[in-house]
Structure 1
Amino acid sequence: MDNQIEVIIKDETGRIDKVLNDRLAEYSRSQLQQWIKDGHVSIDGKPIKANYKVHNGEKIIITTPEPEVLDLVPENLDLTIVYEDEDVVVVNKPQGMVVHPSAGHPNGTLVNGLLYQIKNLSTINDVVRPGIVHRIDKDTSGLLMVAKNDHAHEVLAKQLKDKTSLRKYIALVHGEIPHEKGRIEAPIGRSKVNRKMQAVTEEGKSAVTHFEVLQRFEGYTLIELQLETGRTHQIRVHMQYIGYPVAGDPLYGPKKTLKGNGQFLHAKLLGFEHPTTGEMMVFEAPLPEIFKKTLKQLKEKD
């Protein structure tokens, strides 16, 4: 079944493809242009062209076609399952693994591995994201909660939305942070310079990150972070924004950085109320070996 997206023009001007690109950050410009070309974008029931100039108050309807179904193949990826019961799975995702299949990553994802190891997964998300309640970036390691049925999914998703779940991260960042604690509140949205990146922008969604210094090294600081919101690349964007980018980060860090398997960022602690019993459950995952090794080298240098 096709879905409809409604966009009402408020003071924007210019070509419709550019305006939609600014308003709908979750879709790429090429995707939006393809939908326009295929006649899926209309005003007053009439399909329009990509060079159409929008007017104030116009209502644009995008009828998105059903996504192409990717062939989800269960794969034995030997995932580290930290906890499992009838409702919930907690998994420790390794660095380098994408959470769910997409056009660029049809297999080898966490979902492929879950399908092999777990009998039942929730069906609330689309077909390529069974069980997935939240995500972490490909090169971020650590804990994720996975729902085994739709009731559990709804309860866990609500906790994320209501900010009652607990998520703590460990990061190694460039620079020596002088203060012991900090709170970063800055809205995050799609970067206008590079579509693969997020950025602090006035039009972005509210984002709040708390951090605390654990240890300082020459040129680097080890910090613990707690998320109040869960925006895409939130920690990486916020730390770059205040001048202490995450070490090893290929997108937001400096070119000269520490060698690893991507950014030194680990989802260390995950806590939530169990969707059936209501019991508060807290899990921790140790740092990856490359992270431990790098910290040891920094200590030896000091």
Structure 2
Amino acid sequence: MIRVSVLSMPRWRCAAALSLALLIAACGESVSPQREAMVAGDAAVTAKMGAAPAPMAMAPGAPAPEAAGGNPQDGAVQKHIAVRHDIDVVLAADRIEAAWKAVGEQCARLDCEVLNSSLRRELRDQPGGAELQMRVAPKDLAALLGTVEGQGRVAAHNTGSEDKTAQVIDVEAHIRNRTEFRDSLRALLKDNTGNRKLADVLEIQRTLSQTQAELDSYATQLKILMQETQRQAVNVNFRPEVSLVDGGAANPIGNALRDAGQVMSHSVAGIITALAALLPVLAIGLPLFWLLLRAWRWLRRGRKPRTSDL
């Protein structure tokens, strides 16, 4: 620190230095109360609004708070996706009915419903098979698919999805509009302040009935859409195995020998049908032809000149 002797300085310099020191002291005293007042004011505002929350730790890749809450409508749209599973299960022909029953019983134990069920018995001219159409909740999908896959060999499993969000939003908007319009009509019908004609009351009731019918129709559409999107469709097709010995392409001679009796029966049936069609013609045509032949011979005998006349 440098010390300056005041006695060695001129008088005008001493006066200037003293004035500068007094000015700095005065400014320091005036600034300090203002800063204390500002700090006190900030503390009061903080106490009034509450302590500021601690910064939240965000996971890597998470959007910033401004982006997450910038537009509520962007994040409020819920997707409605209809998912469909088409499964082909190949198994022995004598096990198709048991597998069909097992999958249906498993669906009954889960949050699942059977929409359609069919069973075809194995006949001479058609193979056996079975189909199941179900709707299952996503939480029970794995259990149902496990039962299906345990019945035989899964030859194909196709999964498809359809976005029905726009349809759901459209139907919900119609329901809101129709509900508001119905409520306004009911309030108008209950309002007895003015003199109203009978024709006006009947017109309001007719419009109210039509609006309620439209509202019920939209509610049914929304229910169907919710069932299609909240549950997943599972369609299972059971079909029998085809071995190389039984296959027509692998064993055409055996196929021909097996079908020989059927071909012969069809041929005999065709001959019988032809005879049945010709029998009425022969029964009527042969006697008629015989009579015409006799008449023609009689006429020729009558026209032939006699030898006595010559």
Task: State if a TM-score over 0.5 links the two structures.
Answer: no
Larger RCO, structures 1/2 (Cα 8 Å, 6+ apart): 2
| TM-score (norm: length of structure 2) | 0.23
**Higher-strand-fraction structure:** 1
**Higher-helix-fraction structure:** 2
| TM-score (norm: length of structure 1) | 0.23
